[in-house]
Amino acid sequence: MKLDIIGAGAFGTGLAIAYGRAGHDVTLWARNAAPLIEARESPRLQGLPLPDSVRPTGDLADCTSEIALFALPTQTLSAFLSANPITARIGVSCSKGIDRASGHGPTTLLSSATPIVAQLTGPSFAADLARGLPTALTIACANEGEGTALQDTLSTPNLRLYRTTDVIGAELGGALKNVIAIAAGALIGAGLGESARAALIARGFAEMTRYATSRGANPKTLTGLSGLGDLILTCGSTQSRNFRFGHALATGESLPEGTTVEGLHTARQLAAARADTPIADTVAALADGTLDIQGALDHLLSRPLRKE
């Protein structure tokens, strides 16, 4: 099966390696493809070379497959689609976030470019995919028939996909967990302990579910891989860029220039919308410097006592 993967960051490259290893004919588009073509290896996934069935390219004209997986940052997706013609019939978003300019999720943005859209999301690190470690994800497509076909096509011996028609639930689960991961990183960076992290994950999940259902999501979707599963992964590992960003906020460290932190954009979006999202509001204030760690802690702990 031919697949196009648009975006050769860590996750896009990890997917390309996984699908190439599984026997798919993969075209991997990169903004700067020359180093990838020459080295056959991404600097973000050192020691994990591209299989022979993966063709890196910098020319979108080489991307002629029916299915295109978009592994671009959510904040750049709209501009990319506006500037480039897309010929794929099915666009699969691999992004997790909310576009700050429009307030839309990535599948809504993709719907302007491809007739069928889907969301691939869930607990996964690029290196795990590239190493062939067992991984389970959610494929969300409103068209049940197309979703079933995508589930069959995009599952591999080591990558198991579960399907849903609840696109908004799967999409928001992936976006909102990034916000909670920032908070978890800040909490651990501040030395507040594992008990506090467990409480944050539980209350963060309640916040995610409350907000997503207010937007039309099925609350059961949030209990699956795209919500709770991804939340557990990103709140507990330094492999998560959002977790590392939160940790850096608490410790005064800095991340490498150009690091994508989708959770920060999502937190700011929720704060600006004045949604019932106290953790997201606190993350936005912490990142913007209007609260310090102690102020953030005081803000959350001083909220009125309530039923769980």
Residues classed as catalytic: 177
Residue 260: predicted pLDDT = 83
Closest by CA position to 123, among listed 234, 209, 18:
234
In the chain, residues under CATH classification 3.40.50.720 are 2-165
Nearest of 238, 111, 269 to residue 175 by alpha carbon = 269
**CA–CA separation, 16 and 291 (whole Å):** 41
The CA distances from residue 303 to 25, 83, 159, 299, 300, in Å, are 54, 46, 42, 7, 6
Helix orientation angle between 278-288 and 167-189, rounded to the nearest 10 degrees: 50
Q: What is the pLDDT of residue 285?
A: 95
| Domain covering 168-301: architecture | Orthogonal Bundle (1.10)
Distance CA 166, CA 258 (A): 32
Across-strand partners of 90?
67, 116
Neighbours of 35 (CB within 10 A): 14
In the block, residue with structure tokens 């607990």: 123
**Residue that the structure tokens 């106290």 belong to:** 278
Rounded CA separation 239/145 (Å): 35
Residue 164, beta-bridge partner list: 140
| 175 within 8 A of 182, measured Cβ to Cβ | no
Q: What is the pLDDT of residue 121?
A: 98
Nearest to 29 by CA among 20, 39, 21, 37: 37
- Write 40-45 long-range contacts (CB < 8 A, 24+): 42/8, 42/10, 42/13, 44/9, 44/10, 44/13, 44/126, 45/10, 45/13, 45/14, 45/17, 45/126, 45/127, 45/130
- Distances from the Cα of 180 to the Cαs of 48, 107, 109, 184, 205, in angstroms? 30, 22, 24, 6, 8
Domain with CATH 1.10.1040.10 in the chain: 168-301
Tokens 């497509």 locate to 141
What is the reported pLDDT for 303? 83
Asked if residues 62 and 86 have their Cβ atoms less than 8 Å apart, the reply is no
> Tens-of-pLDDT digits for all 308 residues of the chain?
999 999 999 999 999 999 999 999 999 999 999 999 999 999 999 999 999 999 999 999 999 999 999 999 999 999 999 999 999 999 999 999 999 999 999 999 999 999 999 999 999 999 999 999 999 999 999 999 999 999 999 999 999 999 999 999 999 999 999 999 999 999 999 999 999 999 999 999 999 999 999 999 999 999 999 999 999 999 999 999 999 999 999 999 888 877 889 999 999 999 998 889 999 999 999 999 999 989 988 888 888 888 88
CA distance 279 to 270: 10
CATH annotation of 2-165: 3.40.50.720
* Per-residue confidence (pLDDT) for residue 268, from 0 to 100: 95
Query: Residue 302's pLDDT is what?
Result: 84
